[in-house]
Structure 1
């Protein structure tokens, strides 16, 4: 008698198809969100609160108790008959009240377990639609929480509560909202350095609350148009402003998120400090970034807003039996050769461009690290070829 494989009498996909016709929010397999509220966080940042369906909760909480601070969601939004996908940072942690909320009663606390909140900067087609046009109760498909910009994915010594420095520019603060809360709850000393041009009333209230509860939390809000807020008299991030924080930088883990100019300034600052003090700070940096400009890791400020280029190498797509020459990111080089590769955010966040490298060495333009020469998974939007490369595409 044959045992083992048992075909499904009724396919889950068929059940999903019928169920979606009866109730579009219901699904066995597809995580979905339903918009329930909007909250202004600053002049140019909106928080969107969503109810989650059963598939989202089942898949998100399957392996861990909740998502991690610093993670994001890939939303699939239908606008004028066309689906668009974008990544948005999750605000806060699961099962915790949001600081601007007055949900203190038992019923609200119970319903909060079934919600997730993201932060949106209203710019561009999709973000504007989400922040200003999409009706309440609208339903969108989503991924489960994703991303490695978390405490869990770092090499923090579990026996030592390393000092943590969070450096954000503008809306780069959004993935840090949950991260900072989580770090303080664990017991890490936390310092926040946030550069912004806009009013931050709701966010500043959050930092004040955390400062009242946790004596190990220090924050600096740098308004780039207000000299009284500058550190060491510096308008932008520099070696002087970092040393003015009086942190043990050699033992401090730095989380950074912001524009490429901010990140380039950070790498330049830590390089100057390393030269003066004989310590290596570059490996202490964990980056989440956005924008299309890419930092120059050799510190040439004239190249901050240009795409990185190297000596041209040949990239071979094994499955397609096609090849092209590349002296920039693999994704851009393929598109210049009229070859279409999968992509999403084009910023190294969403993972949709990830593929397998069969051989060759590539360089990650976010971290500056070189890969090994063998088989591994890479992202084409943030890697450049340093030798001839074979991709399993």
Structure 2
């Protein structure tokens, strides 16, 4: 009887995987490189010149990508990105690229009057993804100029929190904390949007704008760039949607300046005549642009606070109440997306992630090397001529992760301090707060 029970248990319980999916993938990829059970892959099918600076690349997705992204989640949201792995001269590189447009839609530039054949080739495939990038840097130059049509690239599935949905989640998080009610300004599906982009930071905005306008949300776009980019497209959207306004700031043309300033300042934001306290702000660009944004909103906050205090004078009850209930800060309205390399120290400070950065020594125990660091460990090492592993440089891919033997570091995204002992850290996000020893 016990033998029979054992047989039943074996039959209905754990069954070892006789042929592992990784082995099937390995054999299958040798027969058909685009095929995979588990690894999302993209195949380059077309290039399209969007402007003098931007080139769009369209990719066909394999079955693994389709099942994980399209079938399970319905695609992606505007503002999300993919991690693309590119092999150049035998060296693996990984970069993050924002997705253009929304899933399973005709590509947006087909609305500008391209030929039917071009639209068919570029936009009608059901399961494709498209990115837009400048031909600058090693990987971007390879993708836009040298990679052959039909080249296959391993990829992640779409991800990222630079989305309209994130505004709702952020509001819910504020409501769930213990802050006083006065500080809990919430956003909903009709909240006005202000999108601020610099250079190629315009790419994640394309999907965000399209998605917001589909839901009749008021959208204002401010794009800082040397020269006009996608001007015909913005004109088309403005003609179709009365709720869409745009400002193209050519940093070489004073006639285009906003608030009489070449750079983003408080006067620039005020010139928009938006209800800033009730507006959700998305920003993507270089560290200097993001630093300027945070400095600008702080100046506006200080002016609003002074105005409120003056209005409350003579009303002791209101003055007492205002001291107990902190006013909503414009910083709470901002969601940022970074691109490119690590944040510069001055930008980190401006965003409240790190202040009073001091120089510390970082020791690489196994290599018997050391370097001085007053920025992220990855950037400081490269400035000292020392090569460390990295991928996306944004804290996403984990390729830069290593073990810290001793010393304290601070994560510039979360502001969290590590312990003084053994710990696993990411060099692209970690700033030394003391002398540090890495197990490298």
TM-score bracket, normalised by the shorter chain, equals 0.7 to 0.9
- Flag the structure with higher helix content: 2
1:254 has 2:281 as partner: yes
| Compared CA separation, residues 145 and 299, structure 1 to 2 (3 A) | closer
| Closer, same or farther: CA 109–134 of 1 in aligned 2, 3 Å | closer
Residue 107 of structure 2 contacts residue 122 of structure 2 at CA under 8 Å; is this kept in 1?
no
Residue 239 (str. 1) matches residue 260 (str. 2): no
- 1:42 to 2:51 alignment: yes
Quote the residue 1:99 is aligned against: 108
What is the DSSP-based 3-state SS (H/G/I as helix, E as strand, rest coil) of the residue aligned with 1:370?
coil
The superposition leaves residues 201-237 of structure 1 with CA deviations (integer Å, 9 ceiling, x where unpaired) of xx22222222223221111111122222222222221
After the TM superposition, which residues 106-255 of structure 1 pair with which residues of structure 2 at under 5 Å, given as runs?
112-154=125-167, 155-156=170-171, 157=186, 159=188, 161-200=190-229, 203-255=230-282
Cα shift at 1:72: 1.3
Q: 1:315 to 1:239 in 2, by over 3 A?
A: farther
CA drift of 1:36 comes to 0.9
Q: Distance in 2 between matches of 1:47 and 1:110?
A: 12
Equivalent position of 1:72 in the other structure: 81
| Alignment partners' CA distance in 1, 2:282 and 2:395 | 16
Matched with 1:370 is 415
> What is the TM-score of this pair, normalised by structure 2?
0.74
3-state SS in 1 of match to 2:165: coil
The CA deviation at 1:338 is 10
What secondary structure does 2:164 align onto?
coil
Q: How does 1:234-383 map to 2 (within 5 A)?
A: 234-278=261-305, 280-292=329-341, 293-294=343-344, 296=346, 309-310=357-358, 312=360, 327-332=374-379, 342-348=389-395, 350=397, 352-353=399-400, 363-365=410-412, 370-371=415-416, 379-383=426-430
Q: Whole-Å Cα distance in 1 between the matches of residues 380 and 87 of structure 2?
A: 30
Measure, in 1, the Cα distance between the counterparts of 2:120 and 2:384: 57
DSSP-derived class of the 1:96 partner: coil
CA distances 1:307-341 after superposition (whole Å, capped 9, x unpaired): 98336499999xxxxx9996532445677999986
Aligned residue for 1:266, secondary structure, equals helix
Distance change in 2, residues 1:360/1:57 (3 Å): farther
Q: In the aligned structure 2, how far is the partner of 1:281 from the partner of 1:351? A: 32
CA distance in 2, matches of 1:359, 1:183: 47
Return 174-183 or 277-286, whichever deviates more: 277-286
Does the aligned pair in 1 maintain the 2:227–2:252 contact within 8 Å? no
Q: Which stretches in structure 1 are left out of the alignment for 5+ residues?
A: 301-306, 318-322
CA distance in 2, matches of 1:350, 1:194: 28
Rate the CA distance shift 1:364–1:263 in 2: closer, same or farther, 3 A. Answer: farther
CA distance in 2, matches of 1:325, 1:83: 28
- TM-aligned CA deviation for residue 53 of structure 1: 0.5
Which shows bigger deviation, 9-18 or 29-38?
9-18
The runs of 5 or more residues in structure 2 that have no matched partner are 1-8, 172-185, 306-327
Task: Please identify, of 239-248 and 325-334, the stretch whose mean Cα deviation from structure 2 is larger.
Answer: 325-334
**In the aligned structure 2, how far is the partner of 1:233 from the partner of 1:250?**
22
Count of aligned positions: 381
Could you say what secondary structure the match of 1:152 adopts?
helix
Contact 1:28–1:55 (Cα < 8 Å) also in 2:
yes
Cα shift at 1:160: 5.3
- Secondary structure of 1:296 counterpart: helix
| Structure exhibiting the larger radius of gyration computed from Cα positions | 2
Q: CA deviation at 1:354?
A: 5.8
Q: Deviation digits for residues 240-278 of structure 1, max 9, x if unmatched? A: 111010111111121111112211211221121111112
Distance of aligned partners of 1:226 and 1:211 in 2 relative to their CA distance in 1, 3 Å threshold: same
CA contact (8 A) 1:162 1:189 kept: yes
Normalised to the residue count of structure 1, the TM-score between the two structures is: 0.82
